[in-house]
Amino acid sequence: MKEEKRFETRVIHEGYQSSQHFDSLAPPLYQTSTYTFANAKQGENRFAGEEEGYIYSRLGNPTVAILEERMASLEGGEAALAFGSGMAAVSAVLFSLTKSGDHILCSQGVYGCTFGLLELLQEKFAIGHDFSSMDSEEEIRGKITENTSCIYVETPINPTMQLIDLELVVKVAKEKGIPVVVDNTFCSPYLQRPLELGCDIVIHSATKYIGGHGDVVAGLVVGSQEKMAEIRMTTQKDIGGIISPFDAWLLLRGLKTLAVRMDRHCDSAEKIADLLAGHPAVETVIYPGHENHPQHGVMKKQMKKPGGMISFTLKGSKEEAQKFMDDLDMIKIAVSLGDAETLIQHPATMTHAVVPEESRKSMGINDSLLRLSVGLEAPEDIWSDLSQALDKAK
């Protein structure tokens, strides 16, 4: 039996055979909208599904196909789909798993636009949702209803860094026959692989760690061959939130350094989290790598490393938190994450501004909470910038 290559090798080679693409070392960019048929019968056969081959780039593209095969391998899934944004991926999955009158059970916190989508589904299609801490079997069972069609989980949760024990969720979900969907954006498949823990579908905002360079917006979904084929030929095809070939090519290029980048992100984040915890202007540091994190044990069980994201609160008001951000020099104020640059944002007024204040506070997002995406710069320079702004805040 052929030995499977290790993760660090598969991010570079999986899904691509240069001999099938004119011996090009780098995967070619097939920047085309449509494909020609040798004759009318071939066109008929391809549309009927009786012959393999490309038809139209909304339905499939060779560059995109390489990306999808690579991501399926990295997440341990059978197949993958690429989308034009993370939210296109989230909406496609939720549309495919629900119908009018259904119910979605969600982790206590979710990305602000995911929250907005849930509200839209409830308003337009009577698809309800509830939030749960998911910290015990009893808690999860108590929130499941007879019409719960899926369980949707972020872990770590954006931006509170709460972790969900995926094996615990899966145990209850399997009893009820409910699929489990996990947004794995904060971890990437290098740090966490939910499918290997029994989950059914994994979602990524590939804009973040998968791309890694702040120059592409995209989404990815990984799951079973059957489910991915169903989404491809229904939700993806008919709503049309597809990825462009060029963006797929950029993601393939970014993926090659994923393992190296994630190691650097994580190592630097651990140093910065420790330094933040020791500064008198900082109220709390929320980082899964710290032993006082409520789910530190969960992190050790299901993540390779604690990740490159840190949330922390300052001793002060919203205005003081905003002034601290304005006093930063090298670190950029921006709402993305996973880039080479260190980025900081204020969730209450930025990524989660759409969430009503009462709901936002119940998620643990207060006005002094800040989210830091630790970049690839020298950690000493990251801390130098943070500390000079913190000293002013103090």
Query: 3 pLDDT band (50/70/90 cuts)?
Result: confident
Q: What is the pLDDT of residues 314-340, one digit of tens each?
A: 999 999 999 999 999 999 999 999 999
Q: What is the pLDDT of residues 159-195, one digit of tens each?
A: 999 999 999 999 999 999 999 999 999 999 999 999 9
CA angle centred on 310, ends 369 and 363, rounded to 5°: 45
**CATH code for the domain in which residue 160 is found:** 3.40.640.10
Q: Do 337 and 216 belong together in one domain?
A: no
Range of the domain at 180: 8-255
**CATH code for the domain in which residue 366 is found:** 3.90.1150.10
Q: Do 132 and 32 belong together in one domain?
A: yes
Q: Do 49 and 167 belong together in one domain?
A: yes
Neighbours of 373 (CB within 10 A): 27
Q: Do 181 and 223 belong together in one domain?
A: yes
- What is the spatial distance between Cα 128 and Cα 104, in angstroms, rounded to a whole number? 6
- Burial class of 316 by CB neighbour count within 10 A (0 to 12, 13 to 18, 19+): middle
Measuring CA to CA, which residue among 330, 340, 328, 342 is closest to residue 372? 342
Domain-located, residue 1: no
Q: What is the pLDDT of residues 201-244, one digit of tens each?
A: 999 999 999 999 999 999 999 999 999 999 999 999 999 999 99
Q: Do 141 and 279 belong together in one domain?
A: no
Q: Do 79 and 201 belong together in one domain?
A: yes
Domain-located, residue 79: yes
- What is the spatial distance between Cα 374 and Cα 379, in angstroms, rounded to a whole number? 9
Q: Do 155 and 241 belong together in one domain?
A: yes
User: With contact defined as beta carbons under 8 Å apart, do 153 and 182 qualify?
Assistant: yes
Q: Do 200 and 284 belong together in one domain?
A: no
Q: Do 186 and 221 belong together in one domain?
A: yes
SS3 377: coil
**Among 255, 283, 311, which residue terminates a domain?**
255
Q: Do 186 and 238 belong together in one domain?
A: yes
What domain count does the chain have? 2
Domain-located, residue 3: no
Q: Do 248 and 265 belong together in one domain?
A: no
Task: Please list the active-site residues.
Answer: 58, 111, 183, 208
Distance of CA 352 to the CA centre of its chain: 16
Q: What is this structure's pTM?
A: 0.95
Domain-located, residue 353: yes
**Among 213, 239, 255, which residue terminates a domain?**
255
Query: At residue 380, what are phi and psi to the nearest 5 degrees?
Result: -65, -35
Domain-located, residue 322: yes
Whole-number pLDDT of residue 2: 61
**Among 212, 234, 255, which residue terminates a domain?**
255
Q: Do 294 and 280 belong together in one domain?
A: yes
